[in-house]
Amino acid sequence: IKAIESPNKDDDTQWLTYWVVYGIFSIVEFFSDIFLSWFPFYYMLKCGFLLWCMAPSPSNGAEFLYHRIIRPFFLKHEAQLDSVVKDLKDKA
């Protein structure tokens, strides 16, 4: 997220955005997979969702989810997240 929000935009922002969305999706799925797997066509819907997220179009799912959900949450809690990361780094 820090690389996406950096002023230097030379990096590949589309794929960084996809991997941020995929990482958050994987964390959510890890805790809810036992319930989600009972839904019919869950794995087909998951595949469709991931294809939508990586579609090479200007309105792909990763950009949409990042700018509508993840970015506002991150910007609101950025100071808290930075302090947690700093504390973990100091302990390590």
Please check whether residue 2 lies inside any domain of the structure: no
Which of the pair, 72 or 16, is modelled with greater confidence?
A: 72
Q: Taking a C-beta distance cutoff of 8 angstroms, is the pair 61, 55 a contact? A: yes
Which pLDDT value is given to residue 11? 58
Please check whether residue 72 lies inside any domain of the structure: yes
Please check whether residue 32 lies inside any domain of the structure: yes
What percentage of the chain carries pLDDT values higher than 90? 55
- Domain hosting 55: range is 7-89
For the cut 90, the answer to whether the pLDDT of residue 68 exceeds it is: yes
Which of the pair, 56 or 47, is modelled with greater confidence?
A: 47
Q: Taking a C-beta distance cutoff of 8 angstroms, is the pair 24, 70 a contact? A: yes
Please check whether residue 38 lies inside any domain of the structure: yes
Query: Structurally, how many domains does the chain consist of?
Result: 1
pTM of model > 0.85: no
